[in-house]
Amino acid sequence: MSNKHTNGILVVDINDRRIVGLNRKFIEMWDFSSRIISSQDENLALEVAAMKLEEPLKFITQVEQLYINIELEIHDIIKLKDGRIFERHSLPQYLESKSVARLWMFRDITQEMYWKNLPTKHNNKILYVPGLIPMKRFNKQEMIINRLL
């Protein structure tokens, strides 16, 4: 069982672009098959991941730029076609001052972004979310229910 706050982690050898490490959360987040995992082929993994994204070309281009400019780090947000939103962070890994791998970390921030953008989505109306505000604080005269949509 994985913790919802765990990052999905991937480590790629920069010399041959082979996947050398990953965790279960990463596999779950990206829904990668055992074929992709056992191949250790980052290009195959990128191709499959890109098909799940709203902006696949931008994703691939950014990844390629990071391997050209290995010292660069990235911290951004990527949106998936299924509505999920991932925070992405990547940085080079060094061994004896030589860059040997790239670490990729992904965190699912879909719910966080939903709650952050909720007032905007509903024109800043005050919403009642069951369970968030105990009902016993209000009596029938005090309760006003506005139609949201």
* Segment 33-61 mean pLDDT: 96
pLDDT at 41 (0 to 100): 96
* Global pTM value: 0.73
pLDDT at 125 (0 to 100): 59
Question: What is the architecture of the domain spanning 8-110?
Answer: 2-Layer Sandwich (3.30)
All structural domains of the chain with their residue ranges: 8-110
Q: Report how far residue 76's alpha carbon sits from residue 64's, in angstroms, rounded to the nearest whole number.
A: 15
Q: Report how far residue 51's alpha carbon sits from residue 71's, in angstroms, rounded to the nearest whole number.
A: 27
Q: Residue 50: is its pLDDT beyond 70? A: yes
Place 6 in a pLDDT band, splitting at 50, 70 and 90.
confident
Which token pair is 89?
A: 């962070």
pLDDT tens digits, one per residue of 66-119: 999 999 999 999 999 999 999 999 999 999 999 999 999 999 999 887 766 665
Looking at per-residue pLDDT, the higher value among 46 and 5 belongs to 46
